[in-house]
Amino acid sequence: MLPLPAAALVEPSQIGELLQAGAKLDARDRFGRTALILAVRHDQPDVVRTLVAAGAALDARDQFGRTPLILAASAGAAELVTELVAAGAQLDLVDGMGRTALIWATRHGHGATVAALVAAGADASLRDHFGDTALTAAIARVWAASTP
C-alpha cells in the first residue's frame, strides 16, 4: 500500500481511496513530513484542499519545525496561505530557526503573501533566533538587492 505522505504526488481523488484502505491521514515519512506538508512543498493546491477537507493536521511540523503554512509562505503561495489560514492554521508558529510564516515570506520578497499574512493578523513584532523581525528581514532584503 502507498504510504499517505506519498499521496501528495497522486491525484486528489485517490486520497479518499487510500484513506478507505487504511492509510493514516497524518502519517509521516522519515523526514517527519505529512502528506499535507508534501502537497504544499510540491505546489499541489488541489491535493492540499483535499487533505484539509479530510481533516489533515494543519500545524504538523517536519524535521525542521516547518508547518504547511510556513512552507507555503516561504514559497510565495499566497492563495494556499489564505486557504490554510481560513481552515485554521496558526499564524505565528515558528520553525527551528524561530521564523514565522511572515518572516519567511518577507525574507523571500513575496509581497502578496506578506499582505495576506498581515491581513490575517500575523504578528510582525515576533523575532527569530537571530533577533530578526519581518521588518528587519525586509530591510536586509532591500539592502542586499541594492548592494553591488
11-40 pLDDT tens trace = 888 888 888 888 899 999 999 999 999 999
Comparing CA positions, the residue from 21, 20, 14, 64 lying closest to residue 39 is 14
pTM for the full predicted model:
0.91
Q: Give the model's pLDDT for residue 9.
A: 64
The pLDDT of 70-99, averaged and rounded, is 98
Nearest 5°: the CA angle 125, 129, 132 is 45
Contact partners, residue 46, CB within 8 Å, separation at least 6 = 12
Residue listed under C-alpha cell 510564516: 101
Name the pLDDT band for 1 (thresholds 50, 70, 90).
very low
Cα dist. 120→34, 88, 89 in Å?
25, 11, 11
Mean pLDDT of the chain: 91
Q: What average pLDDT does range 7-11 have in this prediction?
A: 66
Question: Is pLDDT at 97 greater than 50 in this prediction?
Answer: yes
Q: Given pLDDT bands bounded at 50, 70 and 90, which one contains residue 143?
A: confident
Tracing cell 525542521 back to the chain, one arrives at 64
Integer Cα distance of 33 and 59 in angstroms: 11
